[in-house]
């Protein structure tokens, strides 16, 4: 049984969550480690939040693209660049060259 761990990226669909799983691979020529991310559509009965760390397992197909279900959810929300709120900028401030 395959068990993956990832971070919830989106919950905009009914009973479905998009979970991002990242892994580190070495470049075949240069050997530099590169992070690769793959998104999975996961069946969600419990109602997870964006940024929450979850584990999910393979199961029977729920739909054409959804073949995973949430196995275990962590209550802690992980802050990353996609889930973190951006600071507000001053209104009316223009960026660019002065004339």
By residue range, what is the domain housing residue 37?
Answer: 3-77
Domain count for the chain, please give it: 1
Token pair, residue 77, equals 């929300």
Domain membership flag for residue 84 = no
Phi/psi of residue 70, each to 5°? -70, 125
pLDDT at 75: 64
Phi/psi of residue 12, each to 5°? -80, -5
Whole-structure pTM value: 0.73
Q: For the chain, which residues score pLDDT lower than 70?
A: 73-99
| Three-class DSSP category at 68 | strand
Query: Taking a C-beta distance cutoff of 8 angstroms, is the pair 16, 44 a contact?
Result: yes
pLDDT at 62: 96
Q: Which residues pair with 3 in a beta bridge?
A: 57
pLDDT at 92: 59
Domain membership flag for residue 19 = yes
Domain membership flag for residue 18 = yes
Domain membership flag for residue 23 = yes
Residue 34 is part of a domain; what is its CATH number?
Answer: 2.40.50.140
pLDDT at 96: 64
Distance CA 59, CA 44 (A): 13
Domain membership flag for residue 93 = no
Query: Taking a C-beta distance cutoff of 8 angstroms, is the pair 24, 33 a contact?
Result: yes
């Amino acid at each position: 049984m395959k068990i993956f761990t990832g971070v919830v990226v989106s919950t905009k669909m009914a009973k479905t969550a998009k979970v991002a799983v990242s892994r580190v691979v070495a470049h075949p020529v240069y050997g530099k480690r590169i992070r690769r991310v793959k998104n999975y559509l996961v069946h969600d009965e419990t109602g997870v939040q964006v940024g929450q760390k979850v584990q999910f397992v393979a199961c029977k197909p729920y739909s054409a693209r959804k073949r995973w279900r949430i196995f275990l959810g962590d209550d802690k929300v992980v802050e990353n660049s996609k889930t973190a709120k951006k600071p507000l900028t001053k209104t009316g401030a223009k960026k660019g060259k002065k004339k």
